[in-house]
């Protein structure tokens, strides 16, 4: 397959990171600036960035909720690439039960689930609330071999949560987390996910460029 054909099969599901991309209230906003500019006489243009790794599309690392746990540079790549189910749960207002996922009992295992809640920062506003998976729903997914939970909203836990129970439950099961995906134009179904976290040492999260392509692909 030609490179052009491969690019056409890829659907970018990342939020564009720019100054003004909504950050979690109180977190460090994203910023970028020019260090050197050719228009000022420099031989090259060189930029610099700053801000929280949780702004925009990112992978949480277990150290985010537990001291001494895995950091961003230690996240296993296998969890972030492979078959994934995009599931539309925009009809759910508060909590997502297993029945809300509307999974076919004869379908292949759900190793990676990407939830389209419709409460995304891709609309350039930080949502006031979003639905979250119930413990029973998470348990059933984990028992089925869950490796990754991805959401288009800012967190796998409720905005007001302080114990971050879903983070703890997912990490304790050896699974991982993607947040702030852009699934606005993605229909439910099975895809191949490619969403590799940047290898930045010691952080509690890492920026991700996430993409989907049809599954199986040729």
For the annotated catalytic residues, the residue numbers are 64
User: Which residues are 171's β-sheet partners?
Assistant: none
Task: List all residues 6 or more positions away from 117 whose beta carbon is below 8 Å from its beta carbon.
Answer: 89, 90, 92, 130, 131, 151, 152, 153
Token match 């537990």: residue?
A: 66
Q: Which token pair is 197?
A: 């976290």
φ, ψ for residue 15, nearest 5 deg:
-80, 135
DSSP string, 128-159: S---EE-HHHHHHHHHTT--EEEESSS-SS-T
Q: Is 172 helix (H, G, I), strand (E, B) or coil?
A: helix
Are 133 and 170 in contact, with CB atoms under 8 Å apart? Answer: no
The CA distance from 107 to 109, in Å, is: 7
The count of other CB atoms within 10 Å of the CB of residue 64 is: 20
């Amino acid at each position: 397959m030609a490179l052009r054909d491969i690019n056409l099969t890829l659907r970018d599901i990342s939020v564009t990171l720019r100054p003004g991309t909504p950050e979690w209230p109180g977190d460090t906003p994203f910023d970028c600036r020019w260090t050197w500019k050719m228009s000022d006489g420099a031989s090259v243009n060189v930029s610099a960035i700053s801000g929280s790794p949780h702004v925009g599309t990112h992978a949480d690392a277990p150290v985010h909720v537990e001291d001494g746990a895995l950091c961003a540079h230690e996240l296993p790549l296998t969890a972030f690439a492979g078959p994934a189910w995009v599931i539309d749960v925009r009809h759910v207002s508060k909590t997502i039960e297993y029945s809300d996922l509307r999974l076919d009992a004869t379908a292949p295992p759900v190793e990676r689930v990407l939830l389209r809640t419709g409460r995304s920062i891709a609309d350039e506003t930080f949502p006031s609330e979003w639905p979250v998976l119930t413990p029973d729903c998470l348990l059933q997914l984990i028992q089925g071999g869950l490796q990754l939970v991805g959401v288009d909203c800012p967190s796998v836990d409720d905005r007001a949560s302080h114990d971050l129970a879903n983070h703890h439950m997912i990490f304790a099961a050896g699974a991982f987390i993607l947040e702030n995906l852009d699934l606005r134009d993605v229909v439910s179904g099975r895809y191949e996910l490619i969403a590799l976290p940047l290898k930045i040492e010691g952080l509690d999260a890492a920026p991700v460029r996430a993409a989907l392509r049809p599954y199986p692909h040729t």
